[in-house]
C-alpha cells in the first residue's frame, strides 16, 4: 500500500469519526439524565487516535467540539467548547502516540485508553483554569473533580468497556492504520 493511499484512508476514516462525533450526542441526548455524562464525542476521537494515529486524532479532537458547537449550539463554544477542544485533541494525540509505541497486547489498549483519558482530563482542567483566569471567574479543585471525575463516571465506565472492544475488533479485521 503506497503512502498516498494510506493518507487518503486516514483522511476518510478521520472524516467518518468526525461525523460520528457530530451525530452520537443526538443519540445519547435521548437519555437526559445521563446523556451528557456518557461523553459521546470522546468515543470517536479516541478511536480516531487508535485507528489513524496521533495527528489525525488530535485534529479531529480539536475540531469536533468547535464544529458541533458552531453547527448545533452544543457544546456552547465558550468556554465549554474551547476547553473540550483541548481535552479531545489530547485524547486523540495521546491514544495515537501510545497505541503506536506500546507493545500490541490487549492490556496495552486499556493502558493507552486510561492514560489518554487521564491526560485529556488534566488538559481540560488546565484549559478551564486558564479560561477562568481570563474571564475573572474561579475554577477550583472541587469544580475540576466534579467535571473530570464525579460527573464523568458513567462515560468513563462506558469508554473503558466499549473502546477496547472496538479497537480489538478493528485490529482483528485489519482496520487500524496507526503503526
13-35 pLDDT tens trace? 999 999 999 999 999 888 877 87
pLDDT tens-place string over residues 110-155: 999 999 999 999 999 999 999 999 999 999 999 999 999 999 999 9
pLDDT at 1: 66
**Domains by residue range for the chain, with CATH:** 3-28+37-172 (1.10.1760.20)
pTM of the shown model: 0.96
b/e sequence 111-147, b meaning 16+ C-beta within 10 Å? ebbeebbebbbebbbbbbbebbeeeeeebeeeebeeb
Amino acid at each position: 500500500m503506497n503512502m498516498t493511499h494510506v493518507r487518503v484512508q486516514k483522511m476518510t476514516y478521520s472524516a467518518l469519526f468526525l461525523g460520528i462525533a457530530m451525530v452520537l450526542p443526538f443519540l445519547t441526548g435521548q437519555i437526559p439524565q445521563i446523556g451528557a455524562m456518557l461523553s459521546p464525542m470522546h468515543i470517536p476521537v479516541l478511536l480516531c487516535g487508535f485507528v489513524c494515529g496521533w495527528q489525525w486524532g488530535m485534529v479531529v479532537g480539536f475540531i469536533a467540539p468547535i464544529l458541533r458547537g458552531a453547527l448545533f449550539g452544543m457544546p456552547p463554544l465558550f468556554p465549554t467548547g474551547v476547553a473540550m477542544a483541548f481535552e479531545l485533541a489530547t485524547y486523540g494525540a495521546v491514544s495515537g502516540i501510545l497505541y503506536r509505541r506500546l507493545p500490541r497486547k490487549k492490556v496495552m489498549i486499556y493502558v493507552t485508553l486510561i492514560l489518554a483519558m487521564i491526560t485529556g482530563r488534566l488538559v481540560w482542567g488546565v484549559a478551564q483554569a486558564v479560561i477562568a483566569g481570563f474571564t475573572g471567574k474561579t475554577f477550583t479543585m472541587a469544580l475540576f473533580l466534579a467535571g473530570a471525575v464525579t460527573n464523568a463516571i458513567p462515560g468513563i465506565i462506558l469508554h473503558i468497556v466499549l473502546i477496547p472492544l472496538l479497537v480489538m475488533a478493528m485490529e482483528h479485521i485489519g482496520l487500524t492504520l496507526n503503526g
